[in-house]
A and B are shown apart, each in its own frame.
Chain A
């Protein structure tokens, strides 16, 4: 049986993504923007949660920071939305550096709880400092007439994240992060600068979500604290990565596509059990498929194993001996 090359899947997804706006309906474009936003969030979460192995329950903090930075820029100074998204990404990085430096001294459950708390603190601040954020009333932005530019922007960011993850998966850096995931003390004793790499992964996982937060605010035309720091965004992102396969190149893509379709069906037909269903999927994935769809694919043999670079190295080694 011929195995499917992982790059082939990514390429096919890219081609579909490129031509979708010209053939698809407005509904398809709108749905795809949400999918792409989640795809970016999932790839970003994968860096810190999947490769580095730090359970991050606070990624939505950066999404929310980006959403507020972007909306305030657009609201007060009429900044074009793409510029606002770039500034938001920058703001995400700037806040993530000190936060990462502080929070990553915590390990395991302490980090998870600390980040979970942080997202709620920021939500409380967004509600409390209503002179800046307009509190619970929220900020209304001018609705955009054409969603297609937003779509291309999100698709470009998603493609960049996928490529970066692919590069990472084939690099020494990726291996170092995996070493931190498996045993941080052992990695440290091998001379891997764990603190620097962790903070790097943390910051890298914060930048794109901040840009997507700003984009999401433009897409909705509205932002308020419960939307910006929504815990179901966090839940959906993590469920996507876990379902697809943590610490893999194609995992977030598979997970995001599958779960977005499921979510859309749920929202359309059973909005009242949306949260429970996503929670149920996450729970079932933890219990029965903790290594995700991608792992299932490689095991049953229809998907080629990742890391082509290392396979090449292994092959060369095999010839020499």
Chain B
């Protein structure tokens, strides 16, 4: 068994999961909304990246800058048009709303890009030797960017004024409001930030994976698995769990084939839900 290859492959895969799951987790922590459309935003970002790089023949870094900004704007729009309107409603309403959004986005993606697979040949191709193992450049770069941004957002949450506002809104919205924090503006900013993280994850996924409009539903379940294993609302938990699940998926796929391998993740998620619903590092948030 090629232990080192599998470990490194898994950790590299985990980086993208971390970025995506952290965005999802941030949104859940602050707004108590499970964003089912998160994966589809990732898919559309990835497809847009292909269009920018292959269709318009612009350099890859243009997509790295433009796509997350576009996603943030889109997220802000969703928040204003949909989520803000159902803030006080029962939880089921926000679940249904984002679920509906997700199907709309998949359909729009199929209309624009067609149902087939596309990819980014030639961007960040080649491989690098790392600890005596050949690692593809695109995976290494996307891992570094994804983990870097995830950690940067963590720093933002822990050590800035904005971060303190976000944390207080997530723990006690009423108290935050009394203390003079504009909770609506914080929620809007968090939703836009979370969507931008999904967008960036999509851009980074583009050179490394085959992409199609259904990509979102495959990724969202992995992101769910990550935040449940890590603990809903726990930021470091999500990063840790993402790397762990990346390794488990790669090792599982090596032994049991890709289909069953990714099913391992869900089984692990179900097991964690049953045995320790608050996850590895979760604080036990009341739903």
Q: Does A125 contact B (CB under 8 A)?
A: yes
Q: Does B26 contact A (CB under 8 A)?
A: no
- CA A235 to CA B217, docked complex, whole Å: 14
- CA A242 to CA B89, docked complex, whole Å: 14
- Among candidates A103, A120, A232, A274, residue contacting B266 with C-beta atoms closer than 8 Å: A120
- Contacting pair B95 A55 (CB below 8 A): yes
- Contacting pair B111 A272 (CB below 8 A): yes
- Contacting pair A290 B95 (CB below 8 A): no
- Contacting pair A283 B257 (CB below 8 A): no
- Contacting pair B92 A235 (CB below 8 A): no
- Given A108-B91, A120-B266, A278 and B86 touching (CB < 8 A)? no
- Given A57-B99, A238-B96, A286 and B263 touching (CB < 8 A)? no
> Interface residues of A: mostly helix, strand, loop or mixed?
helix
- CA A247 to CA B96, docked complex, whole Å: 16
- Contacting pair B221 A117 (CB below 8 A): yes
Measured between C-beta atoms, what is the minimum distance from B98 to chain A in Å?
A: 9
- CA A232 to CA B110, docked complex, whole Å: 15
- Given A57-B99, A117-B224, A108 and B108 touching (CB < 8 A)? no
- Contacting pair B260 A124 (CB below 8 A): yes
- Given A124-B260, A283-B82, A116 and B111 touching (CB < 8 A)? no
Q: Which residues of A contact B257 (CB under 8 A)?
A: 128
Q: Which of B129-137, B196-204, B270-278 contacts A (4 or more CB under 8 A)?
A: B270-278
Q: Which residues of A contact B103 (CB under 8 A)?
A: 231-232, 235, 275-276, 278-279, 282
- Contacting pair A275 B106 (CB below 8 A): yes
Q: Which residues of A contact B82 (CB under 8 A)?
A: 283, 287
- CA A313 to CA B86, docked complex, whole Å: 35
Q: Does A257 contact B (CB under 8 A)?
A: no
- Contacting pair B277 A110 (CB below 8 A): yes
Q: Which of B93, B100, B103, B110 has the most CB of A within 10 A?
A: B100
Q: Which residues of A contact B32 (CB under 8 A)?
A: 109
Q: Which of A219-274 contact B (CB under 8 A)?
A: 231-232, 235, 238-239, 242, 246, 272-274
Measured between C-beta atoms, what is the minimum distance from B170 to chain A in Å?
A: 14
Q: Which residues of B contact A102 (CB under 8 A)?
A: 270, 274
- Given A106-B277, A110-B273, A124-B259, A283 and B110 touching (CB < 8 A)? no
Q: Which residues of B contact A282 (CB under 8 A)?
A: 96-97, 99-100, 103
Q: Which residues of A contact B55 (CB under 8 A)?
A: none
- CA A49 to CA B36, docked complex, whole Å: 18
> Interface residues of B: mostly helix, strand, loop or mixed?
helix
- Contacting pair A108 B267 (CB below 8 A): no
Measured between C-beta atoms, what is the minimum distance from B21 to chain A in Å?
A: 12
- Contacting pair B260 A286 (CB below 8 A): no
Nearest A-chain residue to B263, judged by Cβ: A124
- Contacting pair B28 A287 (CB below 8 A): no
- Contacting pair A121 B95 (CB below 8 A): no
Q: Which of A144-175 contact B (CB under 8 A)?
A: none
- Given A276-B103, A276-B104, A287 and B86 touching (CB < 8 A)? yes
Q: Does B123 contact A (CB under 8 A)?
A: no
Q: Does B244 contact A (CB under 8 A)?
A: no
Q: Which residues of A contact B259 (CB under 8 A)?
A: 124, 127-128
Nearest B-chain residue to A278, judged by Cβ: B103
- Contacting pair B104 A117 (CB below 8 A): no
- CA A57 to CA B85, docked complex, whole Å: 23
Q: Does B71 contact A (CB under 8 A)?
A: no
Q: Does A105 contact B (CB under 8 A)?
A: yes
Q: Can you name 16 A-B pairs with beta carbons within 8 Å?
A: A55-B95, A109-B32, A109-B232, A110-B273, A112-B34, A113-B273, A117-B269, A120-B266, A121-B266, A124-B259, A235-B103, A275-B106, A276-B107, A276-B111, A279-B99, A279-B104
**Further contacts, 16 of them, CB under 8 A, given A109-B34, A128-B257, A283-B97:** A57-B95, A102-B270, A109-B95, A110-B273, A112-B34, A116-B224, A117-B225, A124-B262, A125-B260, A128-B260, A279-B99, A279-B100, A279-B107, A282-B96, A287-B97, A290-B86
The 5 closest A-B pairs by CB, nearest first: A276-B107, A108-B287, A279-B103, A282-B100, A283-B100
